[in-house]
Amino acid sequence: MSSLVPLFMLPGGPELLIVFFIAILLFGSTKLPGLARAAGESMGEFEKGRTAVEHELEEMRTAARESADSEPEEPERIAD
């Protein structure tokens, strides 16, 4: 039997330390808190937008169901 090996695994402790060290080298320790804050605000705005779109889609589905339920049914015609 062969076992499946994932091609991409989540980074562990040493990998995260290397990424953090590279980020400090690239941006400097004074700009990292601002970058993290901006990233957090961006994620928050994205979440608000996603929630608004989901809410609007749900309203459209509800309106479509209500209009389909309120339409009178046509009587069946018998072919002569």
pLDDT score, position 75: 62
Q: For the chain, how far is it from start to end, CA to CA, in angstroms?
A: 68
pLDDT tens-digit readout, 37-50:
999 999 999 999 99
pLDDT tens-digit readout, 5-17:
665 677 778 888 8
Distance (Å, whole) CA 63 – CA 66: 5
Residue 22 pLDDT > 60: yes
CB-based contacts of 35: which residues, under 8 Å, 6+ apart? 27
Contact 20, 12 (CB under 8 A): no
**Percent of the chain at pLDDT exceeding 70:** 78
Residue owning tokens 């779109």: 53
- Tell me the domain boundaries of the chain: 27-67
Model confidence at 60, in pLDDT bands (50, 70, 90)?
Answer: very high
pTM of this structure: 0.52
